[in-house]
Amino acid sequence: MNQIPALARVFAYLSLLTVGGGMAAFPEMKILTVDVHKWLTFPQLIHLYSVGQMAPGPNMMMIVSIGEWAGGLLGAIVTLIAFFGPTALLAFVVARSWKKLEKWPWRNSIQQGLAPVSIGLLLAGCFTMAKGAVTGLETGAIAVGVLLMLLQYKINPALLVLAGAVIGVLSFTH
């Protein structure tokens, strides 16, 4: 019944997987929140993540909604602290020691080596999400349309996600 300890554990763990972006943790987040703890369904997770892209601020704030569903206001607060605490602490420690690391020859290697892996994790998260979100010709067209527009023009992505909502209402309400 009391989900608070589980929320703290799961989101502190997911926190450390967000290398290169929140999406990197998405496959693991799906397994833990949907399959293991059943706090929400896979479509709900996709919906919350996508709506979260329209909110200002860090783009993984949808974790607050999951925390609220599983454990009310306390759940939301615990989830927020668990998800941002560990990486914030790490960033703080690195900020303090960065000057010393500057002369370390492997620093550059780590940066160059982690880049393709973190992009790979991002792509893996994208594929996991696409399995649930791109279910037919229409949704595929929306995804490709947004991709092409973002590559071609400087548009605020939040507006395109909002446009996706409008197209969704127009195409899928029958």
CA separation for the pair 9, 56 (Å, rounded):
26
Distance CA 58, CA 134 (A): 24
**Shortest Å distance, C-beta 3 to another protein:** 14
Span 37-66, contacts to another protein by CB under 8 A? 44, 46-66
Per-residue tokens: 108: 């550059």
Among 6, 10, 12, 25, binds another protein (CB under 8 A): 25
Q: Is 57 left (phi over 0), alpha (psi -120 to 50) or beta?
A: left
Alpha-carbon distance 3 to 36, whole Å? Answer: 12
Under rule CB under 8 A, residue 9 binds another protein: no
Interaction residues for another protein, span 59-118 (CB under 8 A) = 59-66, 68-69, 73, 76, 80, 84, 87-88, 90-92, 94-96, 98, 105-106, 108-118
Residue in the block written with tokens 């973002």: 150
Shortest Cβ distance from residue 64 to another protein (Å)? 5
> Site size for another protein, by CB under 8 A?
107
Asked if 128 interacts with another protein (CB under 8 A), we say yes
